[in-house]
Amino acid sequence: MKWIAYTDGACAPSNPGPAAWGAVLIAPDGRTETDHFGFIGHGTNQIAELTAAIEGLTRVPAGALVELVSDSQYVLKGLSEWRAGWERKGYRNSKGEPVANLGLWKQLFALADARKVSTRWVRGHNGDPLNERADALANKALALKSGSAD
């Protein structure tokens, strides 16, 4: 039995600009779904996507099996492909520059390390109901421009 976390970030009307996150969590029973969202403030789409993944994983118990579902290649590749190289190179990217958003990446890595995380990419704005719901939650947080509305 595993948790499933659909996460999405939003940045509007410009990037960078006001940023927010949304997450839909499905408990291991497969029936219990909870919505979570919050306003970040000024940020980028990458910051919003990372924050969404962080917030989603934060709400899953440590040690749990969880599938992180996102339309963000940035988040999913960072977790599954780029991390080892970044760590080997002292958190430098392929150009030798410091990895952007390193504090958020380290938070996400710590949360993933405390759980058994697998990842799955879905195409954004392509009709996946739970991805669309996570997107709507992030946009709701933008509209409300509030702190966490969890």
DSSP characters for 29-49? TSS-EEEEEEEEEEE-HHHHH
On whether residue 110 sits in a domain, the answer given is yes
Residue 29 falls inside a structural domain: yes
Q: Per the confidence metrics, is the pTM higher than 0.85?
A: yes
Give the Cα separation of 50 and 122 in Å (integer): 16
- Domain annotation covers residue 52: yes
3-class SS of residue 103: helix
Does residue 43 sit within a domain?
yes
pLDDT at 150: 58
150 lies in a domain?
no
In a domain, 72, yes or no: yes
- Which domain, by its residues, includes 115? 3-144
**65-70 vs 116-121, strand pairing mode:** parallel
The domain tally of the chain equals: 1
Radius of gyration of the chain (CA): 15
DSSP secondary structure letter of residue 128: -
Task: Give the CATH number for residue 42.
Answer: 3.30.420.10
pLDDT tens for the chain, residues 1 to 150: 899 999 999 999 999 999 999 999 999 999 999 999 999 999 999 999 999 999 999 999 999 999 999 999 999 999 999 999 999 999 998 899 999 999 999 999 999 999 999 999 998 878 899 999 999 999 999 999 854 555
